[in-house]
Amino acid sequence: MFKRRLGLDPHTGGNATPGLRGCPDVWELTNGDFAVIGRDITPEATAQLPAGVTCGPEERVVVVPRRTLLSAKPDIPENA
């Protein structure tokens, strides 16, 4: 399922989290899709989604820290 991490390990540079929780991450999956681990803000975000944007019952709105996504950018393929 998980093929490779995109970007830095969330604990790079001595970043530590209690019980190794709160570790945002971006992963490429073996089928070519991507998985994002972030903080779930679905309850507070759904009422504020822009017009035409929805979040289905099986979906979640997650926050990924800027540092995490920017560190993954060089590893994200340019082409399909």
pLDDT one-digit tens code per residue, 45-64? 999 999 999 999 999 999 99
CA-to-CA dists, residue 26 to 21, 49, 52, 54, angstroms: 15, 23, 26, 22
- DSSP bridge partners of 26: 36
List per-block mean pLDDT (blocks of 10 residues) for the chain, which spans 80 residues.
93 64 87 94 96 96 93 89
Ordered by start, the domain boundaries in the chain are 2-75
